[in-house]
Amino acid sequence: GRPRVVVVGGGAGGATVARYLAKDSQGQIDVTLVEPTRHYYTCFFSNLYIGGFRDIASIGHSYGKLAAEYGINVVHDWAVGVDRDAKTVTLAGGAVLPYDRLVLSPGIDFVDGSVPGWDVTVQNKMPHAYKAGSQSELLKAQIEAMPQGGRFAMVAPPNPYRCPPGPYERISMVAHLLTQVNPTAKILLVDPKDKYSKQALFEEGWAKHYPGMVERIGPDFGGDKVEVRADAMEVVIDGTVEKVDVCNVIPGQKAGRICEMAGITDGNWAPVTGYTMQSRIDGTIYVLGDATAQGDMPKSGYSANSQAKVAAMAIRGELLGSSVFPAKFSNTCWSLIAPEDGVKVGAAYEPTDEKIASVSSFVSQTGEDAALRKQTYEESLGWYAGITSDMFG
């Protein structure tokens, strides 16, 4: 029969690799995609939803075309086990899927105890909104319901985590929303990191668009010694209790748990070789996106999509003998600071024996004029349309 590839996770990495495998092999590979949700809400642009620039439906995508147009067997279930000797994946519903090659792109899970007082049992009181959909809607509703002059807090994550500029784009979008509905409200950003992605650009933007609204507490003032009390809506920073009205806790992160269950993690992440995106622990398993330890690429949707194309090519080469070209990767992270004020950071990458290495990079500059910022924002709209059709057809 046809060689079988099972893909776990229908997000930026998994949907892309499934679609490329099906499309480019013209049906010669039997592709099964395992994904519990019927609608995938992109984390990318979920901050723009919070800011009021997109509606929730516009960031939701279904798997219908992958099944109907590409012949992918889309199974809505959780993978709960991988038997690497038998080469099978077990699903929560009991099915056992045999594979010749397995691709894992499960995204992230949260590190237990990362923020004392927080775990998923309190995520309705203190949402993370770092997996998009209902959490994004909840966080936005809470912000809209804040008392006038109230206080929004974010507990930012330690490195490494998905979307390095994501928390700071979120601060920008929350500030924009508050400027519209609650202009005397304040934002408290508690951050365990000394510095962060595009910091100078965000700080310039906050001072310009939201003067006096955002206060950041870094590790020098206890930003790395934080505890939360969800029932009391308190954030305790190095012993000092702060009462807040909304608290967005973004905990420390690790590879989606199926990687650990498959036994392919080293610490929190799954090491891969950048030549092919194969696991360094089991060469019949490929790992994509946020779950990987690969080197210089940030954990982003763009990165996961770029890695998926390299993996699809390598898998077709192995299973069908089709030609394989040297791996190349790219990434850009766009962030919206205020209406039509977009910034970006990006790079091109190539694999070495040790890691995926950055070979050239670019970043927006402070002081850029409005026309250039508008153009950067418009580029991001084109990118969103492009990546979502690359994922879902």
Residues that bind ligand FAD (CB under 6 A): 8-14, 34-37, 40, 43-44, 46-47, 78-79, 105-107, 130, 162-163, 166, 170, 256, 258, 288-291, 299-302, 304, 333-334
Amino acid, res. 9: G
Give the torsion through C-alpha atoms of 71, 76, 80, 83, to 10 deg.
-20
CB of 323 to ligand FAD, least distance (A): 26
Q: Which is nearer to ligand FAD, 37 or 199 (CB)?
A: 37
Q: Which is nearer to ligand FAD, 28 or 358 (CB)?
A: 358
Q: Which is nearer to ligand FAD, 34 or 115 (CB)?
A: 34
CB of 184 to ligand FAD, least distance (A): 26
CB of 255 to ligand FAD, least distance (A): 9
Q: Which is nearer to ligand FAD, 237 or 288 (CB)?
A: 288
Residue closest to ligand FAD, measured at CB: 11
Q: How many angstroms separate the CA atoms of 280 and 286, rounded?
A: 9
* DSSP-assigned letters across all residues of 263-313: T--BTTBEEB-TTT-BBSS-TTEEE-GGGEE-BS--B-HHHHHHHHHHHHH
Q: Which is nearer to ligand FAD, 37 or 134 (CB)?
A: 37
The pair of structure tokens assigned to 14 is: 């998994």
CB 124 within 8 A of CB 27: no
CB of 245 to ligand FAD, least distance (A): 21
3 state SS of 70: coil
CB of 257 to ligand FAD, least distance (A): 7
Q: How many angstroms separate the CA atoms of 49 and 112, rounded?
A: 28
Q: Which is nearer to ligand FAD, 78 or 275 (CB)?
A: 78
Q: Which is nearer to ligand FAD, 34 or 236 (CB)?
A: 34
CB of 214 to ligand FAD, least distance (A): 17
Residue 141: Cβ within 10 Å count: 11
77-84 contacts at long range (C-beta below 8 A, 24 or more positions apart): 77/34, 77/36, 78/34, 78/36, 79/8, 79/34, 79/106, 79/258, 80/258, 80/261, 81/261, 82/258, 82/261, 82/262, 82/263, 82/285, 84/262, 84/263, 84/282, 84/284, 84/285
Beta-strand pair 96-98/39-41: unpaired
Q: Which is nearer to ligand FAD, 101 or 170 (CB)?
A: 170
CB of 36 to ligand FAD, least distance (A): 5
For residue 258, is it left (φ>0), alpha (ψ between -120 and 50) or beta? alpha
CB of 37 to ligand FAD, least distance (A): 5
Alpha carbon of 168 to those of 38, 50, 171, 299, 364: distances in Å? Answer: 29, 13, 5, 15, 15
Residue 295 β-bridge partners: 356
